[in-house]
């Protein structure tokens, strides 16, 4: 039997809230988070001294969340932002005088044309005081498999490694997110969620949303049997 479409959609896509600084689990990343939180206001007031930032870390560490968070914060300070990834058209990578904050994700996955465009963005942002650029990738600048000129630019400004969350940090984050949704999770369920297949925070949050929806539809409390039932229905 095939899973019902709404279940498949909930599990694969979910409906997580916007990625903000408020729902980012800081843990060992206090300094980069603080720098990024301060960046939009500093850019708006033309007092940003560190306007080039490079974030790196393993998949699921939260670097994409931080890029979205800094973009979410930008309008609060009257500036425009732009989130860029390998999936965005090349034209989006061109410098725009009306945009003050650029973020580029998965820089090592960009094709050569987009790498050249990011290289140009570095040069433009450096020349325009009221702009900033935050780039994220999977490796430290020297190890990045990108054009040599772009690799040099990655190390121009502040460089931070985004430390992954420990399992205890993830459990605390899941419990907090569950409380915000009015869910009561036992330690057994939290452990099951964090130590199974969905170990990165975006997937865990989407799974929590799916579990919340499933529980409401079934009019049953969240228990380990209910969780296993949901996964079994999804796989059938």
In this structure, the answer to whether residues 107 and 146 fall within a common structural domain is: yes
In this structure, the answer to whether residues 95 and 204 fall within a common structural domain is: no
Which of 137, 161, 185 is the C-terminal boundary of a domain?
161
- Domain at 212, CATH number: 1.10.8
In this structure, the answer to whether residues 109 and 60 fall within a common structural domain is: yes
- Domain at 89, CATH number: 3.40.50.300
Cβ atoms of residues 236 and 2 within 8 Å: yes
Alpha helices in the chain (DSSP H): 5-12, 30-44, 63-73, 112-127, 148-154, 167-180, 187-195, 201-218, 224-235
Note the pTM of the prediction, 2 decimals. Answer: 0.81
Q: What confidence tens digit (pLDDT) does each residue in 22-72 have?
A: 888 898 999 999 999 999 999 999 998 899 999 999 988 889 999 999 999
The edge-to-edge listing of strands for the beta sheet with 158-161 is: 81-84, 101-104, 132-137, 52-56, 158-161
d(Cα 46, Cα 37) in Å, to the nearest integer? 15
In this structure, the answer to whether residues 146 and 175 fall within a common structural domain is: no
In this structure, the answer to whether residues 176 and 215 fall within a common structural domain is: yes
Please give the share of the chain, as a percent, with pLDDT higher than 90.
58
Cβ atoms of residues 44 and 142 within 8 Å: no
Cβ atoms of residues 93 and 121 within 8 Å: yes
Nearest to 155 by CA among 46, 72, 85, 54: 54
Cβ atoms of residues 81 and 70 within 8 Å: yes
Cβ-in-10-Å burial (0-12, 13-18, 19+) of 103 comes to buried
Q: What confidence tens digit (pLDDT) does each residue in 180-221 have?
A: 788 888 888 998 888 876 667 777 888 888 888 888 899 998
In this structure, the answer to whether residues 84 and 137 fall within a common structural domain is: yes
The pLDDT of residue 198: 66
Instruction: Give a yes or no: residue 21 inside a domain.
Output: no
Instruction: Give a yes or no: residue 69 inside a domain.
Output: yes
In this structure, the answer to whether residues 140 and 34 fall within a common structural domain is: yes
Q: Domain tally for the chain?
A: 2
Which of 98, 133, 161 is the C-terminal boundary of a domain?
161
In this structure, the answer to whether residues 59 and 120 fall within a common structural domain is: yes
d(Cα 126, Cα 139) in Å, to the nearest integer? 23
The pLDDT of residue 45: 94
Instruction: Give a yes or no: residue 79 inside a domain.
Output: yes
Q: What is the residue range of 147's domain?
A: 30-161
In this structure, the answer to whether residues 36 and 152 fall within a common structural domain is: yes
């Amino acid at each position: 039997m095939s899973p019902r479409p709404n279940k498949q959609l909930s599990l694969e896509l979910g409906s997580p809230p916007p990625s903000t600084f408020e729902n980012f689990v800081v843990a060992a990343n206090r300094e980069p988070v603080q720098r990024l939180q301060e960046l939009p206001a500093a850019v708006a007031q033309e007092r940003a001294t560190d306007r080039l930032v490079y974030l790196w870390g393993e998949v699921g560490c939260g670097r994409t969340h931080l890029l979205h968070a800094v973009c979410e914060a930008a309008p609060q300070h009257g500036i425009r932002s732009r989130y860029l990834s390998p999936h965005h058209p090349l034209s989006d990578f061109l410098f725009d005088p009306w945009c003050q904050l650029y973020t580029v994700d998965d820089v090592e996955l960009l094709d050569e044309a987009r790498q050249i465009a990011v290289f140009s963005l570095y040069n433009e942002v450096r020349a325009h005081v009221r702009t900033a650029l935050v780039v994220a990738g999977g490796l430290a600048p020297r190890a990045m498999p990108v054009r040599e000129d772009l690799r040099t630019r990655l190390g121009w400004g502040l460089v931070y490694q985004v430390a992954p969350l420990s399992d205890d940090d993830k459990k605390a984050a899941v419990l907090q997110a569950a409380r915000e949704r009015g869910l009561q999770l036992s330690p057994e369920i939290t452990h099951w969620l964090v130590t199974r297949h969905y170990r990165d925070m975006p997937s865990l949050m989407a799974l929590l949303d799916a579990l919340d929806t499933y529980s409401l539809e079934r009019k049953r409390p969240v228990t380990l049997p209910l969780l296993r039932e949901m996964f079994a229905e999804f796989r059938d």
